Amino acid sequence: MQTLALRLYGKNDLRLEKFDLPTLGEDEILADIVSNSICMSDHKAAAQGPDHKRVPKDVAQRPIIIGHEFCGRILQVGQKLTDKFRPGQKYSIQPQLNIPGKEHMAPGYSFHHIGGQATRIVIPREVMQLDCLLSYEGDAYFKGSLAEPVCCIIGAYKTSYHYKAGEYAHQMGLQEGGSLAILAGAGPMGLSAVDLALHGENRPACLVVTDIDNSRLERAASIFPVAAAQARGIRLHYINTATAADPVAAIRAANNGQGFDDVLVFAPVPALVEQASALMGYNGCLNFFAGPSKPDFKAVMNFYDVHYMGHHVVGSSGGNTNDLRDALRLSAAGRINPSVMVTHVGGIDSAAQTTIDLPKIPGGKRLVYTHIALPMTAISDFDKLGASDPLYAGLAEICHRNNGLWSTEAERYLLKHGKRLEADATL
């Protein structure tokens, strides 16, 4: 069977090509991909090419398929796997394989016949042996694609810890019924963190979300209203720290003047880390989620409070397979809405330039439908484009009814009416 795929040959050398997939092995699976979301890691792999630790040195001669946040349907199952998987089943994958001796190998970076920017792939035995092909029961493919970034936040929440004075056992996870501050939390990943705090496990009693952009805070409040959080027993506050004379005092005031059990930092800014240090209460945990680009990134922290107040710091940047299962489960059950991360939608023909230009494009997640031809387009531009294009007009109307968010209905409309580069494979 043939596939149409975006292959990496070298630094920023991405080519959309059609080629034959190999004959399916007895411990492999043939699958159709419907959606893939673009990650900053894809941009780094494209920019660095063979210098990237996950990309093979011979990529110019043996190109890899890029992309690792994908979801689709199983088409054919190798003989050894028929007891666990079946054609027609929806799936997602855990791309962090951690193969002994080959820890850097991962789909989307290292393999020739599996990667997210493709219409069809062969899922190899390495993925199957490590139990990294995961069943997905949700109603939309894009939610399965976004399970990987959601699982990173789940992993961050699980990485945080607390302990009781005089005891040495760490209690992992957010402090249930405690207080949580999410700093720089009105961006795409921050919104997903808010979603999980409100609807996931170990929910806090008080949640404060900060940002320096009032329009982003207003958008966050329209997606997660204060009244809806209150109905769930959570006091939710949005604070613009750019307009506060004393940001720390303003944030603490929302928590009845008290320090916080958990503080998450979503932007690599020294002032935010210092703010987080001042916000923690007794036994408070600072989770530095933001990944700095500078290897010498530093910030001041109060070590008097480390000694006497039990303040501690953790950092996290990914989730494991169980975290991904949790993300798929929560999404399929409708408890969380990963669409809060999506700001742009496009087809596979737009994936190469979008991957290369990713840091220059403002917004959140860029979602690709691999069988569709469509420029990478901001959801906020659907209205304007709809004046001359009925496809965008239809998408704009659907997104308006869904509070400006991408949705299952929008996905189905695009898959039905969008220009096809390739038809979905038949079962």
Output the domain CATH number for residue 247: 3.40.50.720
Helices (H), 280-389: 303-308, 321-332, 351-357, 382-386
Confirm whether 261 is domain-assigned.
yes
Residue that is written with structure tokens 């398929």 in the block = 65
Residue 427 confidence (pLDDT) above 60:
no
Task: Give me the pLDDT at residue 236, please.
Answer: 98
> Residue 329 domain-assigned?
no
| More confident: 305 or 103 | 305
Q: What's the CATH number where 113 sits?
A: 3.90.180.10
CA atoms of 257 and 193, how far apart (whole Å) = 23
Inter-helix orientation angle 147-159/321-332, to 10°: 120
pTM of the predicted structure, to 2 decimals: 0.92
Q: What is the percentage of the chain residues whose pLDDT exceeds 90? A: 90
Give me the mean pLDDT over the 234-247 stretch.
97
3-class SS string, 339-351: HHHEEEEEEHHHH
9-23 pLDDT, tens per residue? 999 999 999 999 999
| Domain coverage including residue 23 | 2-135+337-420
State the pLDDT at residue 318: 79
> Is the pLDDT reported for residue 331 higher than 90?
yes
Rounded mean pLDDT, 169-186: 95
Q: Residues 129, 178: one domain?
A: no
In a domain, 109, yes or no: yes
Query: What is the pLDDT averaged over residues 129-153?
Result: 94
Residues 169 and 256 reside in one and the same domain: yes
Pair type for strands 2-10 and 64-65: antiparallel
- DSSP, collapsed to helix, strand or coil, labels residue 245 as coil
Statement to judge: residues 88 and 196 lie in one domain: no
Does 7 have pLDDT greater than 70?
yes
β 365-369/280-288 pair status: unpaired
- Residue 291: what pLDDT? 81
Q: 75 with 87: CB under 8 angstroms?
A: yes
| One domain, residues 75 and 125 | yes
Which residues contact residue 46 at a Cβ distance below 8 angstroms, ignoring those fewer than 6 apart? 8, 11, 12, 14, 66, 355, 356
Question: Mean per-residue pLDDT for 393-405?
Answer: 97
- Least confident residue range of 180-184, 199-203, 239-243, 257-261: 199-203
Model pLDDT, residue 333: 93
The whole-angstrom separation of Cα 187 and Cα 265 is: 12
Q: What is the pLDDT of residue 133?
A: 96
Domain-embedded: residue 149 = no
CA atoms within 13 A on the CB side of 329: 10
Q: Are residues 168 and 302 located together in one domain of the fold?
A: yes
